């Protein structure tokens, strides 16, 4: 039994020390690395706040069992692990950290594009083996002069547009939630539909949240609309792509190369056939993981959670309908 009257916050996984220290100024903080739902439930039954990274899912069952819960935080921008309608029904505020890792993800996407067109892994491997074939092989290409298609021109996509525009790419974007004039301000030419975008691009990059609309939007049909020999990059969410269709496109040459940071199942099984393709660059959902982004994300979401716990309205409240119920002002 403790006499500490500060609210209890449970951290589902480690965060940057600066974010944890910020929470500890005003809350009792319990960190767990056992991310099973049962363990989190046991620790959080009296919690007023829970901070989620990737696991467990922030389900209705979990939130309903924590009857003192006022706020759940998502470490990052994506909200696909949070049952937002359930949180709203239960009167639980949902906060996150949009934009906190946008620079990191945009840089990673650009890196994957460059590694694909420069065949970086193959060239590195050959050079280490004493094979200087790349000097006499004109298979490497340039991004300058090519057309890039961006799906989702939000915090990450607009940075990718800026980077690639500076390299001399023609930048197109499809985002049904951003007006055309704003798309242009963000450095891209607006395209009305995904189907209109795909045949035009040499490189396609996805920066969209995972929703019912975007799930498996990269599939047999949409990949078939792309130019043969185009490049596909995904640093958003794995289920945006149908991996069976993606493998087929990469294996048959419909796609020349792919840069894949996210997978339908994570960690992806070692027998995932995509991992055996020589024309694919892969990383472990690490695009947004840098020292700078880790700190910014942790501090940003910790600050949002503390605002709710103080009775203040956070800067970004995902479900504003709960504000009155929680007395946020």
Say yes or no: 90 and 77 in one domain: yes
75 is catalytic: no
Q: Which residue out of 16, 207, 237, 307 is catalytically annotated?
A: 237
Q: Which residue out of 6, 215, 285, 295 is catalytically annotated?
A: 285
What pLDDT score was predicted for residue 78? 87
Question: Which residues touch 114 (CB under 8 Å, ≥6 apart)?
Answer: 120, 143
**What's the domain range around 297?**
8-98+291-326
Count of beta carbons in the 10 Å neighbourhood of residue 195: 12
Q: Region 101-127: what's the mean pLDDT?
A: 95
Count structural domains, the chain: 2
Asked if pLDDT for residue 138 goes beyond 90, the answer is: no
16 is catalytic: no
Asked if pLDDT for residue 2 goes beyond 60, the answer is: no
Average pLDDT, the chain: 95
Q: Which residue out of 142, 182, 195, 266 is catalytically annotated?
A: 266
pLDDT tier at 1 (50, 70, 90 boundaries)? very low
Q: Region 87-100: what's the mean pLDDT?
A: 96
Say yes or no: 197 and 270 in one domain: yes
What pLDDT score was predicted for residue 87? 98
Asked if pLDDT for residue 20 goes beyond 70, the answer is: yes
Q: Region 189-208: what's the mean pLDDT?
A: 98
What pLDDT score was predicted for residue 134? 76
266 is catalytic: yes
Unique residue bearing structure tokens 């692990």: 81
| Three-state DSSP class for residue 70 | coil
Say yes or no: 133 and 200 in one domain: yes
Asked if pLDDT for residue 152 goes beyond 50, the answer is: yes
The tens digit of pLDDT for each residue in 40-58 reads 999 999 999 999 998 999 9
Say yes or no: 211 and 225 in one domain: yes
Is there a domain that residue 62 lies in? yes
The CATH code of the domain that includes 52 is 3.40.50.720
The H-or-E segment that residue 222 falls in is helix 220-225
What pLDDT score was predicted for residue 105? 97
The tens digit of pLDDT for each residue in 239-293 reads 999 999 999 999 999 999 999 999 999 999 999 999 999 999 999 999 999 999 9
Which of 246, 324, 321 is CA-nearest to residue 282?
246
Is there a domain that residue 3 lies in? no
Which of 53, 62, 66 is CA-nearest to residue 97?
53
């Amino acid at each position: 039994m403790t006499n500490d009257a500060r609210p209890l916050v449970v951290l589902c996984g480690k965060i940057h020390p600066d974010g944890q220290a910020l929470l500890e100024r005003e809350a009792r903080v319990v960190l767990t690395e056992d991310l099973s739902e049962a363990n989190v439930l046991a620790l959080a039954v009296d919690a007023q706040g829970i901070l989620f990274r990737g696991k467990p899912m922030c389900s209705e069952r979990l939130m309903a069992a924590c009857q003192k819960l006022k706020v759940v935080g998502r470490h990052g921008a994506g909200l696909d692990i949070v049952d937002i309608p359930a949180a709203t029904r239960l009167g639980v505020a949902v906060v996150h950290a949009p934009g906190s890792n946008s620079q990191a993800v945009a840089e990673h996407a650009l890196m994957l594009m460059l590694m694909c067109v420069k065949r970086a892994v193959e060239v590195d491997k050959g050079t280490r083996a004493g094979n200087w074939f790349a000097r006499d092989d004109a298979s490497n290409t340039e991004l300058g002069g090519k057309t890039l298609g961006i799906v989702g021109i939000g915090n990450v996509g607009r940075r990718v547009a800026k980077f690639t525009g500076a390299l001399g790419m023609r930048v197109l974007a499809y985002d049904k939630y951003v007006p055309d004039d704003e798309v242009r301000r963000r450095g891209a030419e607006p395209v009305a539909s995904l189907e209109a975008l795909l045949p035009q691009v040499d490189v396609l990059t996805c920066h969209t949240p995972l929703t019912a609309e975007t799930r498996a939007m990269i599939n047999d049909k949409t990949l078939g609309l792309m130019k043969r020999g185009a490049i596909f990059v995904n640093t958003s969410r794995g289920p945006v792509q149908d991996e069976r269709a993606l493998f087929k496109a990469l294996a048959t040459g419909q796609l020349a190369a792919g840069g894949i940071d996210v997978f339908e199942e994570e960690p992806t099984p070692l027998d995932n056939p995509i991992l055996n393709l020589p024309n694919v660059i892969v990383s472990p959902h690490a695009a947004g993981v840098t020292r700078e982004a880790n700190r910014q994300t942790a501090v940003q979401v910790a600050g949002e959670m503390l605002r709710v716990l103080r009775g203040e309205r956070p800067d970004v409240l995902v479900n504003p309908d709960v504000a009155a119920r929680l007395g946020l002002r």
